[in-house]
Amino acid sequence: MLGFIAGDAPFTDGDEKQASGYGIDLCQAVATELRKDPALAQLQTRYRPVQLAQALDAVSGGQVDLLCSPLVETLQRRETVSFSLPVITAGIGAILRSDAPADLRDALSGAPRERGPTWRATVNQGLSKRSFAVLKGTLGATWVRQRARELGLQSNLVEVGSYDEGVQQVLNRRVDAFFGDRLSLLHYQTRQANGAQLRVSDRLFEAAHASLVLARGDDDFRLLVDRALSQSLRGEMGQALYTRYFGAPSEQQLMLLRLYSLP
């Protein structure tokens, strides 16, 4: 059983009958590797959509064999599940309206050249007394809360249940910006009929490797998963897969794909 988080495009989306996305293609590569075993030649893949909050429990409890939605590996998560080799670099970005106030755009656009008290005051002025949306239950939401405390921001944080909801909150001016995975934000911007009213900041606030998720204690299955992923991420195949969902990769992104795969 292949599990995935619905509404997490371009990584995973769909339902139990039909699923698609970068992570789904990688899981299909794992299924192809499994079918090389004569005893599993007729293996049929089945999908099970899960909510983010229940995803790890579904893996540790045996409801799904492999979670196709890449998640960031943490020590706390490793207490209950295991992770494949990295398949993508996830990074926190922000989406806001194109007509957002200049001080907010400046604060989110990129690391300012100035440092020290003057820089901090400028950032606080741009971000304070704003309303921001975060995706409930994600590491990104935890990071935004922590940064808001560190900067002493007087900002309102709104939890949303999906990327669609967060983007709509920005479009409808209910929040000033929505923080989430930058690749996902770019994807949802292009899906909007009025996407020109939105902009995704160039700045990557935080980055971490993300992996597929499987149960602990099965080294043979993990080896098979990593073998299939290495073959899929290596060379022209990995470049084509990345381009299909995220656009042409930079040289740095190509280097990361090579580093992810094992010889």
Residue 238 is encoded by which pair of tokens?
A: 């990995």
For residue 94, CA distances in Å to 4, 32, 107, 234 come to: 24, 37, 11, 30
Q: Does position 83 have pLDDT exceeding 90, yes or no?
A: yes
Q: How far is CA 137 from the centre of its chain?
A: 13
Fold of the 2-89+208-260 domain: D-Maltodextrin-Binding Protein; domain 2 (3.40.190)
Predicted structure pTM score? 0.82
Q: State the Rg of the chain over Cα.
A: 20
8 A C-beta contact, residue 38 and residue 98: no
8-51 pLDDT tens trace: 889 999 999 999 999 999 999 999 988 998 888 888 899 999 99
113-172 pLDDT tens trace: 444 444 444 455 568 789 999 999 888 899 999 988 888 888 899 999 999 999 999 999
The Cα 195–Cα 136 span in angstroms is 23
Query: Who's near 190: CB < 8 A, 6+ residues apart?
Result: none
The pLDDT score that the predictor gives to residue 152 is 85
Query: Who's near 152: CB < 8 A, 6+ residues apart?
Result: 124
Across residues 217-231, what is the average pLDDT?
A: 94
CATH 3.40.190.10 domain span(s) along the chain: 2-89+208-260, 91-111+124-206
Domain 91-111+124-206 class, CATH top level: alpha beta
